[in-house]
Amino acid sequence: MKKLLLPGFFLSLTTLFVCSQAFALADIEITGEADLNASIYSLPTADRGESVFSIPSLLLDFNVPLKEGNLLFVSFEGAEKRDDQSKPFTVQTREAYLDLVSIFEGMHGLRLGLIPTSWQEAQYQEWDYRFLGPTGWVITEKWKYLYYSDLGVSFMSELPVDMGEWALSVVNGQGRDTAEPQPHKESALFLRFTKWNPWTFTANYSRGTYDKYDASVNLRERIQASALFKTEDDHWRVGLEFLDTHDPADAITNLKMAEGVDVTSLTGQAVHGQGGSLFGIVSTGPKAEVMLRWDYLNAVVGASGKELNTWLTSLAYQVTSDVKAAFAADYTKYGENYGKGIRDNSKIEIAAQVLF
């Protein structure tokens, strides 16, 4: 992550100030989330017993209602050490967009600005364990195959006969931290089918190109699908996700995708990856629940030793309506040729999600 983007930060604050002059402050809804974490590492050997206190994410959201049902939404995120170039704690504009509905009839909307990726947004509506930190993020975000938000535009609407919803987006590509004036854009088609309750089926296809790699290998492609089963009382739910990717090997290295997999031997070539995630959450009492999750990635299909597996388990307790605590453990096993210096690792942690 880059350093604090001061122009964007102050632009967002200025926008909020202008809107507050047009509407009473009472009309602006301010919410937020603080994720708190204390971890002890047990693997690899060099880090055994190392303890870490961290704030994986700190969010502050502003919902500003406009006339005729339109909405301005701005979100700031403080995050701790996303990469080696970041300060220990940096703040960025996570989202800043206008939801425009007044020019349409029916359930249609146009979203403009720094918009969230439809797939990520939908996944996190069902997966509420992001507060565990990067290990607990959805796989497309934690492996950097998709970024949570990007500058662009999205048209959203309902599917016919109450089948669900869909969205078509065009963005700069490669996330909010990339330069804006690039000739190639990225487009995505998102579909979510909710008619067959208690099942929900979701699909997403995104396609773009990188600017600085050879045209024969610069394709950036994502194919995603998921299925979720959730009981009516939310006593338990099970989710399954599939991911298929295509990228230049150079982009994987430069952007540190797939947890630093070593693809230097494939420089100048295209790389095909596949992965998936399976999770289950079961309520064990009025306020307690158990979560189990398994993530799998074959970062280079056709190569040996380029797989990783992560197992994550948690016992969570809803302390109050706005505080959720969890005791969790995870273990990640890498293939023998995954990367230089990359070793299996695991940790136990106590985490808390505070909503305000």
Residue 83 has what pLDDT?
55
Rounded CA separation 283/271 (Å): 40
Residue 1 has what pLDDT?
35
Q: Residue 57: helix, strand or coil by DSSP?
A: strand
Q: What does the pLDDT look like over 281-305, one tens digit per residue?
A: 999 988 999 999 999 999 999 999 9
Residue 54: strand pairing partners: 37
Higher pLDDT, 312 or 345: 312
Rounded CA separation 287/323 (Å): 11
Rounded CA separation 114/116 (Å): 7
In the predicted structure, residue 131 carries a pLDDT above the cut 70: yes
DSSP 187-199: EEEEEEE-SSTTE
CA proximity to 308, closest of 257, 253, 255, 248 = 257
In the predicted structure, residue 91 carries a pLDDT above the cut 90: no
How many CB atoms are located within 10 Å of the residue 298 CB? Answer: 17
Q: What is the DSSP letter of 339?
A: -
Residue 6 has what pLDDT?
43
Full set of structural domains in the chain with CATH: 6-355 (2.40.160.10)
Tokens read off for 310: 């992560």
pLDDT grade, residue 86 (50/70/90)? low
Q: What are phi and psi of 84, to 5 degrees?
A: -70, -20
Residue 212 has what pLDDT?
84
Contacts of 160 (CB under 8 A, 6+ apart): none
Q: What are phi and psi of 14, to 5 degrees?
A: -65, -45
In angstroms, the Cα distances linking 221 to 139, 207, 243, 334 are 15, 5, 10, 24
Q: Are 351 and 131 in contact (CB under 8 A)?
A: yes
Rounded CA separation 12/91 (Å): 13
In the predicted structure, residue 258 carries a pLDDT above the cut 80: yes
Q: State the average pLDDT over residues 238-246.
A: 98
Q: Which of 292-301, 314-323, 342-351 has the lowest mean pLDDT?
A: 342-351
In the predicted structure, residue 202 carries a pLDDT above the cut 80: yes
Residue 106 has what pLDDT?
73
How many CB atoms are located within 10 Å of the residue 215 CB? Answer: 8
Q: Within 13 Å, how many C-alpha atoms sit on residue 353's CB side?
A: 16
Average pLDDT value over all residues in the chain: 88
Supply the pTM of this predicted model.
0.87
Higher pLDDT, 88 or 142: 142
Q: State the average pLDDT over residues 211-239.
A: 93
Q: State the average pLDDT over residues 78-92.
A: 69
DSSP 99-148: EE-TTSSSSEEEEEEEEEPHHHHHHHHH---GGG-GGGS-HHHHTTSS-S
Q: What does the pLDDT look like over 3-61, one tens digit per residue?
A: 334 444 444 555 555 554 555 556 889 999 999 999 988 766 556 667 888 888 999 99
DSSP 159-219: PGGG-EEEEEEEE-SS-TTS-S--S--EEEEEEEE-SSTTEEEEEEEEEEE-SSS-TTT-E
